[in-house]
Amino acid sequence: MMSDVPTDRIIEMSYPTKIVFGPGAIERVPAEIERLGMKRPLVVTDAGIVKAGLVERLCGVLSRARIACEIFDGVEPDPSEKDAFDGVDAYRDRRCDGVIAMGGGSPLDVGKLVQLLSTHEPPLSRYDDATGGDKYVRPDLPPGIAIPTTAGSGSEVSRSAVASLQDTGRKTIIFSPHLLPRVAICDPLLTVGLPPGLTAATGMDAFTHCLEAYVASGFHPLADALAIDGIQRVGRSLERVVEDGKDLAGRGDMMIAAIEGAMAFQKGLGAAHALAQALGAVSKLHHGLANAVVLPAVMEFNRAASAHRLAAVAIALGDNSLAREEVLAANAIERVRRLNEAVAIPKRLRDVGVKEEDLPRIAEKAFQDTSHPTNPRKCAQADLLAIAREAF
Ligand SMILES: [Zn+2]
């Protein structure tokens, strides 16, 4: 194959987050707090993480190091601007000087927004990535530590935060390198209690990040290498951890795959994420579940345009048939269908409460989403509707 290195443009690639990974990594939080010069961090989390006993575990670590455990647990499942306002009120009331965000994608995102609003004027719509708001984000944010308790969004190493905004009423992405957590504490022990359904849905989100980034148009060999490694890890471990949540090596694989997926999608995502964002907004579908259900139909749509890459996906998922590229590409789609089935992801959108009459609106919203322009095959709104119908 000819080299794919572009000789006519300049590319940027960036992986700056410090990652502390391994069972018991949570014990390193006090050392990182000290290194970052925090005296009084605010723990940003949600009620479910408190109920699961994970915040208590963090507070135990902090109190042994004589650090106060100030908690804001008001983050809602699909966070809105209000969650960030409430969080920053708590941050100011308690005179905090940094943020420790703990939880799934939502608390980690709100943690970033609390950091932002502690030094930046509201409203958040000012900083909306879609309208070039990133230029208003200055570097003077207080330090942030991210502690994921799921293996999915990869928000712990990403430079974006998603929330629905009061001004526009829609889910909006705030995007800036200054939102990157300074440290990600990735402790697989924190994910062993995650129930099978959420393990599967969040795990398929990580998988979709890797897959869409890998086949995305554009030149990013670092992202490609991370994505293909993530695909291998999900392929060998997602089914195992859905079956046995205490499988620590498998949980570690999934945590690494989530990190790799989020690092890889700086290259771009694709039609599955465009549809998943729309399905979240219109049908209130879980983000990871939405991705998982539409992914085979998206791969089918992309099959001819990215046969070479999809063949590599099949091999990463364990195909050693040495078949022709087109056959391997078809095998990749079949393997993703089987993976979905093995972790009990429903087959069709109709099985997860999506209404047929909503499909046109879903396609319209998906077309407005910024994820699909890097899809390997160009999608018109009619294409997104056809994919959604196929998945339905
Ligand atoms: Zn995602």
214-240 pLDDT per residue, tens: 999 999 999 999 999 999 999 999 999
Measured between alpha carbons, how far is 174 from 335 in angstroms, rounded to an integer?
34
Q: Which residues contact 78 (CB under 8 A, 6 or more apart)?
A: 106, 164, 171, 280, 284
- CA of residue 72 to ligand 1 center, whole Å: 25
- CA of residue 77 to ligand 1 center, whole Å: 15
What is the reported pLDDT for 6? 85
- CA of residue 212 to ligand 1 center, whole Å: 10
Residues 230 and 264 sit within 8 Å (Cβ to Cβ)? yes
What is the reported pLDDT for 1? 64
Residue 15 has pLDDT above 90, yes or no: no
Mean pLDDT of the chain: 95
Measured between alpha carbons, how far is 136 from 184 in angstroms, rounded to an integer?
25
pLDDT digits (tens, 9 = 90+) for 344-374: 999 999 999 999 999 999 999 999 988 999 9
What is the reported pLDDT for 325? 95
Residue 259 has pLDDT above 80, yes or no: yes
- CA of residue 288 to ligand 1 center, whole Å: 6
pTM of the model: 0.95
Using a pLDDT cut of 70, give the percent of the chain over it. Answer: 99
- CA of residue 196 to ligand 1 center, whole Å: 18
| 22-49: burial string, b at 16+ Cβ within 10 Å, e else | beebbebbbebbeebebeebbbbbbebb
pLDDT digits (tens, 9 = 90+) for 64-108: 999 999 999 999 988 989 999 999 999 999 999 999 999 999 999
- CA of residue 114 to ligand 1 center, whole Å: 21
Mean pLDDT confidence for 230-255: 97
Measured between alpha carbons, how far is 135 from 158 in angstroms, rounded to an integer?
18
What is the reported pLDDT for 301? 98
- Taking each helix axis from N to C end, the angle separating 381-391 and 359-368, rounded to the nearest 10 degrees, works out to 130
- CA of residue 209 to ligand 1 center, whole Å: 6
- CA of residue 35 to ligand 1 center, whole Å: 31
- CA of residue 217 to ligand 1 center, whole Å: 18
pLDDT digits (tens, 9 = 90+) for 114-156: 999 999 999 999 999 888 999 999 999 999 999 999 999 999 9
- CA of residue 322 to ligand 1 center, whole Å: 31
Q: Residue 181: what are its φ and ψ, rounded to 5°?
A: -55, 145
What is the reported pLDDT for 169? 67
